[in-house]
Structure 1
Amino acid sequence: MAPSFQGNCLSTLLGAGGCVAGCTILLVSAFPVLQIVLGALYMGSCPVAPVLPVHVLVSGVGALLLLNLLALPNLLCPSRHTGSLWTLWVMSVGLLYCAWFLYGSYLVYSVYPPQYLDSSTVLGNSTSAPEVHLTQNHTKASPAASSGLHCDRSLYLFAFWTHTIVYAFAGNALVILICLCGFMKISDLVVKYFTS
């Protein structure tokens, strides 16, 4: 007797490959969960860029959504064929996430460097004065410092380094892709040269 469609999906879900994929998804989803927690924890703690905590929170939710859209159908039932409507939905969410990331880049880099407010003052609801950047024995006032606007140090640096690392990975991937395309083109020319 041939196994049923539901039996194939259940055996895949409970198999070793499904377990490895599930553990990988848990590890990959830890960073978006951290984004959600930091965005919620520091909500309202960045007057210089008031949307920055919302951006960090929504980025975490969007990353989890995109991860689930990409991985769950293949994890739960790899033999199921996804239609063009599903592909359109995933591409739409991916493009929206990229646009949100670019908006976040504007938020992060437009106020660089902000006047930092120490995390302990925000979490402890203290009204102490924000920190000022020190460079070469004198203080450097950022444009936000003169207006009294500040941002929580942990939140801002998390958002800053998240965006910077993503751009570094994207740049490296682009260089590797260009090198691979060039190598394939050269190897194709060499093969044509020696076969003709």
Structure 2
Amino acid sequence: MTSVVSVHRRRKIVTNDFLGLTVSHKMERGNLLQHMRHPSKPTISGISKLLACVIPIAQITIGAVYLYDCPRQHYIPIYLVVMGATGLALALLSCIPCAQDSDDMAPNLLNHLCTTWSTLASLFLFCWFISGNVWIYSIYQPNFNQTLTEDPYCNKTLYLFAFWTTTLAYVELGLLLLGGCCMLVCAFILGKRDPDDNRS
């Protein structure tokens, strides 16, 4: 919940009641999106990185525990383990100082290596995600009963976890796209209503 404390010409000081943070934003035309790209406070950033590690750790755990419990599609537990390990590596890489952008530091070889590895890992993760979609959705809804011998089974916990984490990735992507579109519309409207534009 944010509230405007005082409004100056082209400058707003905003108080964020969540965690008691005060943020100063210069609200100029074209700078709205630029200010949104700046990293958040260290505590919020740390909490978000910690939460980003929860799903990959759960994927590794579920995939390893039920590694041989899906004869119907034996790639599903492997998909979870690899997806979790790569996602966790990317999350941990974002905590290393060489992987973080800094305005006052010149790019060095270590920074380029971190960026290259992060890009390649993200590309692999995208391709692996598409493969996982094929493996998971192609057998929907599998036999969960291990005692039936005529139809290969897949462990219910394993399959439903893989199904819902994959489906939630699409939900998250949709929400991000919707939020991005809303921000662009707001930036366009704020840019059109800038009173200084009428003076020139």
CA shift, 1:193, in A, is 6.2
Distance (whole Å) between structure 2 residues aligned to residue 171 and residue 116 of structure 1: 30
Instruction: Name which of structure 1's ranges 82-91 and 58-67 shifts more when overlaid on structure 2.
Output: 82-91
Structure with bigger strand share is 2
User: Aligned letter for 2:148?
Assistant: A
TM-score normalised by L of structure 2 = 0.65
* Mapping of residues 74-89 of structure 1, within 5 Å: 83-89=111-117
User: Aligned letter for 1:173?
Assistant: L
User: Aligned letter for 1:175?
Assistant: L
Q: Name the SS of the counterpart of 1:71 in structure 2.
A: coil
Aligned: 1:105 with 2:124: no
Percent same amino acid among aligned pairs? Answer: 29
Structure 1 outlier segments of 4+, above 3 Å = 17-28, 78-82, 192-196
Q: CA RMSD in A?
A: 3.0
Q: Is the 8 A contact 2:98 2:114 kept in 1?
A: no
Aligned: 1:165 with 2:189: no
Match of residue 95 from structure 1: 123
Distance (whole Å) between structure 2 residues aligned to residue 181 and residue 55 of structure 1: 35
- Kindly indicate whether structure 1 or structure 2 has the higher relative contact order, using CA contacts under 8 Å at least 6 residues apart: 1
Aligned: 1:71 with 2:90: no
Structure with bigger helix share is 1
User: Aligned letter for 1:97?
Assistant: L
Q: Name the SS of the counterpart of 2:189 in structure 1.
A: helix
Q: Is the 8 A contact 1:21 1:75 kept in 2?
A: no
* Mapping of residues 29-178 of structure 1, within 5 Å: 29-73=53-97, 83-117=111-145, 128-129=147-148, 148-178=151-181
CA shift, 1:73, in A, is 2.5
Q: Is the 8 A contact 1:38 1:155 kept in 2?
A: yes
Q: Is the 8 A contact 2:99 2:114 kept in 1?
A: no
Aligned: 1:188 with 2:177: no
Q: Is the 8 A contact 1:43 1:54 kept in 2?
A: yes
CA shift, 1:154, in A, is 0.2
User: Aligned letter for 1:44?
Assistant: Y
Aligned: 1:28 with 2:52: yes
Distance (whole Å) between structure 1 residues aligned to residue 162 and residue 91 of structure 2: 20
User: Aligned letter for 1:110?
Assistant: S
Distance (whole Å) between structure 2 residues aligned to residue 49 and residue 195 of structure 1: 66
User: Aligned letter for 1:129?
Assistant: L
Give deviations 1:7-48, integer Å, cap 9, x for gaps: xxxxxxxxxx87886666444323222211111111121122
TM-score normalised by L of structure 1 = 0.66
1:84 to 1:165, Cα distance in 2 relative to 1, 3 A: same
Distance (whole Å) between structure 2 residues aligned to residue 184 and residue 20 of structure 1: 25
> For structure 2, which runs of at least 5 residues remain unmatched after alignment?
1-40
